Amino acid sequence: MQPPLLIYNSLTRQKEVFKPLSPPFVGLYLCGPTVYGKAHLGHARSAIAFDVVVRYLRQLDYKVRFVRNITDVGHLERDLDEGEDKVAKQARLEEVSPMEVAQRYTNSYRKNMEMLNVLPPSIEPCASGHIPEQIEMITSIIQKGLAYLVDGSVYFDVVKYNQVGHTYGLLSGRILSEMRVGTRALSGQEVKKNAADFALWKKATPSHIMRWPSPWGEGFPGWHIECTAIGSKYLGAQFDIHAGGLDLLFPHHECEIAQAQAACATNLATYWMHNNLVTIDGAKMGKSLGNFITLDEFFEGNHPSLDQPYSPMALRFCMLQTHYRSTLSFSLDAVKAAHQGYRKLMNGWYILCKLQQDGAVEEKGGIDDSIYAECAACYSAMNDDFNTAKVLASLYHLLKKINGLYYGTLAYAAISKSALHTLTTTYTTFLIDILGFKEDHQATFADGVEVILTLYKKAKAENGYDQVESIRSALRKMGVAIKDHHSGASWEYLS
């Protein structure tokens, strides 16, 4: 009997038992990228963290509808009237059309995600494809009297929202009256009634390319309305999980809740989940700080912080070794360690696949109990707010048993057939299906090594040690180790 699944809810600031609104269905919305630049390590963290959440929920037999949006319009440089749309700005810099920019970086993002073995969303809507939905929601908020029109732009009235019984700031723990106001000279703020008000719709200036007709004139939607409109369209006015990076908690998610309360009288989602940030040299890795490493740079080794290319799975391991709500301090040493750790787990999986089922005994073996305990620990760890770090620890405990059986330091008599079966399915389920690891290397390479291994075995049998040594060193240069052990010779990846 496993403990129930607990999820830390940012809204209540505590772990809560996960209860979907309509089991077995689960609706999960994740704030996707604004496609005006290449994805960096921070994007990967969010994607991987919630990829594992989706994978685990599916493992628990939930039917998950996973929606991850693409922001291709409305995300301004600053939340200011004169702030330039991010996508439009990049288009100007690259001298292409905004939709070209959006397409380019959407493609790049999807490619990166595929490399990281992040499962594609069930639905991947873009903001520009949902203008009518957003206009509809804005209209509804205006009708409730919680938004006002100024010169072709529509703003959400935060003060009014509080006056009619809502509480702005529930998610971020902010109290409206105590929020810092007016300490920075933000131009363009004077059109708003209050500094905390945010744009639902912006009037397009004559030069603005991305524009749509609306009841308030030509313009484009504000950033926050997109997620609320899209989320409620595909998952319902109230759905189970809304996820995103911690830096989106305020103001983005706070505004989303306000919009949903105003339009639909819901908090939009029951559980609000936030992944923590990636830091480098003690500071947050962020777009605006310019200290980020893009995923392409990471995979190509093309960055001053990196000495060589690193694999997508090394990064995935890095991410999963840390709990998603803790900051992840990125360093070269950490990546190197992660890659080695990943390699060992994968090599263990191949060995596990080779372990002969018929070697195990029918009766209970000496290590059965510890196998069952570690397998159960994997589930317990995931049920405790997706503690992937703990899962990895358990997998390493299992790995020692796997290696021991294969290399002969543990006798087959130590494990029963049923325990070996549990070991095999659990290890595979967690490593491959839930944590989402896959082989970095090409399968065709492995076929070639198999041929060479045959030559090695022949030379070895004939005591041709010169040839044995030369095959070993040649393969070693290719990142492959040959291993001699009681059950013969085999090979595995070294890096």
Binding status of residue 289 toward RNA by CB under 7 A: yes
Binding status of residue 288 toward RNA by CB under 7 A: yes
Distance CA 180, CA 314 (A): 41
Site for RNA in 101-160 (CB under 7 A): none
Binding status of residue 206 toward RNA by CB under 7 A: no
Residue (160 or 274) nearer to RNA, CB: 274
Residue (130 or 323) nearer to RNA, CB: 323
Query: Residues in contact with RNA, total (CB under 7 A)?
Result: 90
Encoded one letter per residue, x for contact with RNA by CB under 7 A and - for no contact, window 476-495 reads -----xxxxxx-----x-x-
Residue (21 or 195) nearer to RNA, CB: 195
Residue (139 or 278) nearer to RNA, CB: 278
Site for RNA in 234-263 (CB under 7 A): 244-252
Site for RNA in 384-413 (CB under 7 A): 384, 387, 389-390, 392-393, 396-397, 399-400, 403-404, 407, 409
Binding status of residue 190 toward RNA by CB under 7 A: no
Q: How far is the CB of 331 from RNA (least distance, A)?
A: 5
Binding status of residue 218 toward RNA by CB under 7 A: no
Residue (27 or 169) nearer to RNA, CB: 169
Site for RNA in 428-467 (CB under 7 A): 460, 465
Is residue 394 within 8 Å of 378, Cβ to Cβ?
Answer: yes
Q: How far is the CB of 263 from RNA (least distance, A)?
A: 20
Residue (61 or 183) nearer to RNA, CB: 183
Binding status of residue 222 toward RNA by CB under 7 A: no
Residue (78 or 215) nearer to RNA, CB: 78
Binding status of residue 326 toward RNA by CB under 7 A: yes
Binding status of residue 285 toward RNA by CB under 7 A: yes
Q: Which amino acid is at 170?
A: L
Binding status of residue 3 toward RNA by CB under 7 A: no
Binding status of residue 202 toward RNA by CB under 7 A: no
Binding status of residue 5 toward RNA by CB under 7 A: no
What Rg do the C-alpha atoms of the chain give, in angstroms?
Answer: 27
Is residue 77 within 8 Å of 101, Cβ to Cβ?
Answer: no
Residue in 88, 115, 257, 278 binding RNA, rule: CB under 7 A: 278
Binding status of residue 86 toward RNA by CB under 7 A: yes
Q: How far is the CB of 379 from RNA (least distance, A)?
A: 15
Residue in 12, 107, 331, 425 binding RNA, rule: CB under 7 A: 331
Residue (139 or 419) nearer to RNA, CB: 419
Measured from the Cβ of residue 376, the count of other Cβ atoms closer than 10 Å reads: 15
Binding status of residue 472 toward RNA by CB under 7 A: yes
Site for RNA in 13-32 (CB under 7 A): 31
Residue (300 or 469) nearer to RNA, CB: 469
> Residues 182, 183, 185, 186: is their CA dihedral positive or negative?
negative
From first CA to last CA, the distance across the chain in angstroms is 39
Binding status of residue 321 toward RNA by CB under 7 A: yes
Residue in 162, 194, 279, 370 binding RNA, rule: CB under 7 A: 279
Binding status of residue 223 toward RNA by CB under 7 A: yes
Binding status of residue 73 toward RNA by CB under 7 A: no
User: CB under 7 A: which stretch of 158-166, 177-185, 212-220, 411-419 binds RNA?
Assistant: 177-185
Distance CA 41, CA 45 (A): 6
Give phi and psi for 5, each to the nearest 5.
-75, 120
Is residue 432 within 8 Å of 349, Cβ to Cβ?
Answer: yes
Binding status of residue 193 toward RNA by CB under 7 A: no
Distance CA 287, CA 40 (A): 8
Residue in 347, 383, 422, 426 binding RNA, rule: CB under 7 A: 347
Measured from the Cβ of residue 161, the count of other Cβ atoms closer than 10 Å reads: 24
